[in-house]
Chain A
Amino acid sequence: MNGNGNGAHGVGVNFPLKMTNRKVNVFYGEKHALKGVDLDVRANHVTALIGPSGCGKSTFLRCLNRMNDTIASCRVTGEIVLDGQDIYAKEIDVVQIRARVGMVFQKPNPFPKSIYENVAYGPRIHGLARGKPELDEIVSHSLKQAGLWNEVNDRLDEQGTGLSGGQQQRLCIARAIAVQPEVILMDEPCSALDPIATAKIEELIDELRKHYTIVIVTHSMQQAARVSQRTAFFHLGNLVEEGDTQTIFTNPKDERTQGYITGRFG
């Protein structure tokens, strides 16, 4: 709670709402995993989703780019609106949604290909680059934005899986950035990393906020306090409380939130 979150760049209501979500319900077969969640995501803010294991925060995150589609038994109801467009509407192409809403996963999962190929894959399938020089430019720009360029610029043709854990995760971030998404979802991106690598990723998240809207799921409340401007607390499939990170951590309204952030449960 050292307040880094509010400092570097602008925050507040003069930023438009990027995503508005109303009455989001998720069912896994018979199981009601997410119960009527209303949560707004403000542009160029970092929104942290916190809560104990199994509370539905990852499930909610995966609704935002329709990754839940890959689970056969999963059913989503309610409204998830990206820039005025319901992403679950029939006429929406899921491939386009995932290009606009990128994702970084819990475990670094670079493709077992070269570093260059990892970053170039997204632009290539979406046809974002005309010709090799343009693609090179996108790759180097993305790696620079992900803060990895200086470490790998002389070995772009080496295997991405040969990097250290923290580097792999930044490579995954670079890979997501290369598609030029509007929103980046991060599902516990630091849980498999050591503190130094974690610090680097956190710095990076704050930097990325200038250009992207970020939603991050985290188990670490310190991390939520450090990197986010908005925090949402989930519990047993319900969105218990949501608001400014400062407020949530210093003056929570709900006693469940208070109990969780003070370590009484969870």
Chain B
Amino acid sequence: MTEMAIGGPLEGEKRAASGIHTSEAAKLRLKSRYSAERRFKLYGIAAIVFALAALATLLFTILGNGVTAFQQTFVRIPISFEAEAIDTSGKRDIDELRRGDYAALIRSSLSKQFPDVTDRLGQRQLFGMFSAGAPDQLRDMVLAEPGVIGQTRDVWLYASSDVDMLNKGFIDRKTPEQSRRLSDRQISWVDTLASSKAIEKRFNARFFTGGDSREPELVGVWGAVVGSFFTLMVCLSLSLPLGIMAAIYLEEFAPKNRFTEIIEVNINNLAAVPSIVYGLLGLAVFIGFFGFPRSAPMVGGLVLALMSLPVMIIASRASIRAVPPSIREAALGLGASKVQTVLHHVLPLAMPGILTGTIIAMAHALGETAPLLMIGMVAFLVDIPSGPLQAATVLPVQVFMWADSAERGFVEKTSAGIMVLLVFLLAMNALAIFLRKKFERRW
């Protein structure tokens, strides 16, 4: 076939010249060209299918693991709020109510409901079916409504993580008793409670409103969300003005000489510096030298601002450069000064692009973990931070800490934390796309 193809043109001189593109050899050449194109297209499709499959697996795994975390197992028991356990003086004194022995209320209710459990181990196991947060639940009830003292009410209390796991089907009943977190008796009690509809999965509001906890059934993501918010605010309020000013100067005012060239190259290099290096820098400079508090969103924000500055400068410069020179000429030709030209015309036109870049950089900063570990934002914190100088943690670090915990109950919380993080990231990216579409200009 190759010979024919080579021989073609020579024979073609003898034949009619038009035969070159209509001969059998030409048809074969054309066919192999088409099949090469088809193959090329196929490789592209295969690559996309592979990427989509990987993404789908990831999302599916996270969803499958995490969706159960939005529900929590509760146990309903009748609690009689006896004054002798929580209000011996009878004065309804807040301090005394706060110190009351609410666990005793649960224990006495349990001994009434399960009178045949008399041994100490059994009683401990019975009480162990409730979360360590259950007494606090009762305390909060009493503090909110002291009139409840002396009454008996049905209360839905947090089940322990083990009961929760059993109820969600993560504990295999066929596992031998000694290698299982719940004893046979506990499982039979759970079944008893379930048969009287006293055990139930309910929406886990605490996950969205609470801080961290040692108990997987009590953890919440709100503390980390607030910490992330403060961190990002500090980061944004620093990197946005600095980034824009630097970009404007470099793009519109800086003379083109060796010095500015070096600056430019280094900004590009800084964008590629591993983020943990910024963490070390922040640790040495902000905490070590300036003495800022550890674990504070303030320091985290400063570090992330340093990290996102190069990206912001590059994005801002690109969108300033995208403003057509004819606009600058028009303004200059009218007698506008250089600064007026930039502030009145170039910057407003570049702003949508700058904002898009900013949001992407902020989304990147939101997902950043490593540098924050260096400055101590990996602390275990139950309280919701109330300001940028208070110790806090952020979403990705919270996910990291949960993933690091051994208990089975944290598996679903980890995935749920990732889902919350992803929702924020998707929302920010959607906002960026929306802004770009809304302010897009055609010249």
- A residues in contact (CB < 8 Å) with B: 65, 67, 70, 72, 95-99, 102-103, 105, 107, 109-112, 121-122, 125-126, 161, 172, 175-176, 179
Inside 8 A of B255's CB, which chain A residues have their CB?
A: 72
The residue of chain B having its C-beta at the shortest distance from the C-beta of A121 within the complex is: B334
25 contacts between A and B (CB under 8 A): A65-B333, A67-B333, A70-B329, A72-B256, A95-B336, A95-B337, A98-B333, A102-B334, A105-B326, A105-B329, A107-B326, A109-B326, A110-B330, A111-B327, A111-B345, A112-B327, A121-B336, A121-B344, A122-B335, A125-B336, A125-B344, A161-B443, A172-B330, A175-B334, A176-B333
Interface residues of B in 331-360 (CB under 8 A from A): 331-337, 340, 344-345, 349
B332 and A67 contacting across the interface, CB-CB below 8 Å: yes
Q: A67-B329, A99-B335, A109-B330 are in contact. List 13 more A-B contacts (CB 8 A).
A: A67-B332, A72-B256, A95-B335, A98-B334, A102-B333, A107-B326, A111-B331, A111-B345, A112-B327, A121-B331, A122-B335, A125-B334, A176-B334
- Whole-angstrom CA separation of A131 from B324 in the bound complex: 32
Inside 8 A of A112's CB, which chain B residues have their CB?
A: 327, 349, 441
The residue of chain B having its C-beta at the shortest distance from the C-beta of A69 within the complex is: B332
Inside 8 A of A72's CB, which chain B residues have their CB?
A: 255-256
B335 and A126 contacting across the interface, CB-CB below 8 Å: yes
Chain B proximity of A229: nearest CB distance (Å): 24
Inside 8 A of A121's CB, which chain B residues have their CB?
A: 331, 334, 336, 344
- Over the window 297-333 of chain B, the binary record of Cβ atoms lying under 8 Å from chain A Cβ atoms (1 yes, 0 no) is 0000000000000000000000000001011111111
Q: How many residues of B contact A (CB 8 A)?
A: 21
- Whole-angstrom CA separation of A99 from B335 in the bound complex: 5
Instruction: Count chain A CB atoms within 10 A of each CB in B255, B330, B345, B443 and give the residue with the most.
Output: B330
- Whole-angstrom CA separation of A109 from B443 in the bound complex: 9
Inside 8 A of B324's CB, which chain A residues have their CB?
A: 109
- Whole-angstrom CA separation of A109 from B330 in the bound complex: 7
The residue of chain A having its C-beta at the shortest distance from the C-beta of B337 within the complex is: A95
Inside 8 A of B334's CB, which chain A residues have their CB?
A: 98-99, 102, 121-122, 125, 175-176, 179
Instruction: Count chain B CB atoms within 10 A of each CB in A107, A121, A179 and give the residue with the most.
Output: A121
- Whole-angstrom CA separation of A140 from B341 in the bound complex: 24
Inside 8 A of A99's CB, which chain B residues have their CB?
A: 334-335
Nearest 4 A/B pairs, CB to CB:
A99-B335, A103-B333, A109-B326, A98-B335
Instruction: Count chain B CB atoms within 10 A of each CB in A99, A105, A125, A172 and give the residue with the most.
Output: A125
- Over the window 411-439 of chain B, the binary record of Cβ atoms lying under 8 Å from chain A Cβ atoms (1 yes, 0 no) is 00000000000000000000000000000
Inside 8 A of B336's CB, which chain A residues have their CB?
A: 95, 121, 125
Chain A proximity of B170: nearest CB distance (Å): 59
The residue of chain B having its C-beta at the shortest distance from the C-beta of A66 within the complex is: B332
Inside 8 A of B330's CB, which chain A residues have their CB?
A: 105, 109-111, 172, 175
Inside 8 A of B327's CB, which chain A residues have their CB?
A: 109, 111-112
Instruction: Count chain A CB atoms within 10 A of each CB in B328, B331, B332, B340 and give the residue with the most.
Output: B332
The residue of chain A having its C-beta at the shortest distance from the C-beta of B255 within the complex is: A72
- Whole-angstrom CA separation of A72 from B252 in the bound complex: 12
A179 and B335 contacting across the interface, CB-CB below 8 Å: yes
- Whole-angstrom CA separation of A65 from B330 in the bound complex: 13
- Whole-angstrom CA separation of A176 from B331 in the bound complex: 10
- Whole-angstrom CA separation of A9 from B219 in the bound complex: 88
